[in-house]
Structure 1
Amino acid sequence: MSPTYQIIYRTVRKIPRGKVATYGQIARLAGFPGQARLVGYALNALREDNHTRVPWWRVINAKGMISLGEFTGADLQRELLENEGVVFGPRGKVNLEKHCWGR
């Protein structure tokens, strides 16, 4: 596993239950400012056995929405977040002022 990805995973593990962080926020906190896509690539690279050890579902885009990429687990991601108390608006948007980690 890439040392860069390990740093990203350590950062994602710090997001508390019931909170979310943006890809850009994780990139900045992990020491890779401006590299939000790198975070997406790292999360997409998670293997089945790491899916529960790294809370990938707590990372959303800067608009407060679930990003659809190669991994098509949007419904699962929303369900996991809702189970933690994260509320989605009618258009599928999370209130970042309320739920974003560190705000």
Structure 2
Amino acid sequence: MFLESGAVALRAKTKTPKAEVKPAPLPFPKAVGQAVRAIPRGQVRSYAQVALYAGRPGAARGVGREMATLPQRPDVPLPWWRVIRSDGTLAPQVAQEQARRLRAEGVEVAQRGDAFRVKVPRETPAVGGATKRRR
């Protein structure tokens, strides 16, 4: 009887888990739109950060192209003004309007001549994550 119960326990431990079915990734335009809509009011993200959150790290230029072509839906507006360059500057073509909208949300926007700049938030490392040691 002892051997039989041990064999059952052994079989239970060695059962192979079923393969997880991963959902298909969203098309790039939809993933970008979802990542931009997820930016909280009063915060900004760089094109690179949006690409990362969209599941396409390294596609910052693609995000820029999508931002220029994504359709505006009145029922779910895309807050394009919350997406900025990685150095914190605003694109000259839309800088005035973007700065106005960001300031209305409480974001600090500095202006020097025709150039506008926003402080870009840094990603915080995960708690317990590896950090570099200083010598």
Q: TM-score range by the shorter chain?
A: 0.7 to 0.9
Q: Give the one of 9, 20, 24 matched to 2:44.
A: 20
Aligned partner (choices 83, 106, 112) of residue 85 of structure 1:
106
Q: Which has the higher helix share?
A: 1
For 2:88, the equivalent position in structure 1 comes to: 64
1:1-103 alignment, distance < 5 Å: 3-49=27-73, 53-68=77-92, 72-91=93-112, 92-96=116-120, 100=121
- Could you report, residue by residue, the CA deviation over 1:46-102 in whole angstroms, capped at 9, with x for unpaired residues? 33546x61101000001011124xxx3221111100100111124321122xxx386
Gaps of 5+ in 2: 1-25, 125-135
Structure with larger Rg:
2
The two structures have a TM-score, normalised by structure 1, of 0.80
Structure 1 portions without partners, runs of 5+: none
Normalising by structure 2, we get a TM-score of 0.63
Greater length-normalized contact order (CA 8 Å, ≥ 6 residues apart): 1
**Identity value in percent:** 37
Instruction: Work out the CA distance in 1 between the residues paired with 2:87 and 2:53.
Output: 18
Separation in 2, partners of 1:74, 1:84: 15
Number of residue pairs aligned between Structure 1 and Structure 2: 96
Q: Which amino acid aligns with 1:10?
A: Q
